Amino acid sequence: MFVARILFFGADKGGRYSPPRTGFRPHVDIHGIHTSCVIEGLDGEVAFSFEREHRVLLKPMFPDQYPEALKVGDAVNLYEGSKLIGTGKVIEAR
């Protein structure tokens, strides 16, 4: 598990039409590795606003397959299909 700062994009920036909520499962691109993850809110957040940075818990769904793929300081991109819905940076490993 990792803590990341993520900026989510609204439809006007090519992202989602509705704000994501804790527990949603986008795809994450980690250095060219595409896998699924679960995003959970920290600090009591349940829904994430567009164009505002959020601290989230990023939980890769298959951590045993890519144990060294993600490190503190890495950039991450979140996708739904081919649509880029958010971007950010890993700030802490847990």
Instruction: Give me the CATH number covering residue 89.
Output: 2.40.30.10
Its pTM stands at 0.90
Total tally of structural domains belonging to the chain:
1
Chain-centroid distance, C-alpha 71: 14
Pick the closest to residue 62 from 88, 21, 87, 30 (CA basis). 30
As beta bridge partners, residue 44 has none
Sign of the dihedral through C-alpha 91, 20, 30, 67: positive
Instruction: Read off the pLDDT of residues 33-90 as tens digits, 9 standing for 90 and up.
Output: 888 999 999 988 899 999 999 999 999 887 777 777 788 999 999 999 999 999 999 9
At residue 16, φ and ψ (nearest 5 deg) are -80, 155
Predicted pLDDT of residue 33: 82
Type of residue found at 53:
E
- The boundaries of the domain holding residue 50 are 2-93
Instruction: Read off the pLDDT of residues 27-44 as tens digits, 9 standing for 90 and up.
Output: 998 888 888 999 999 988
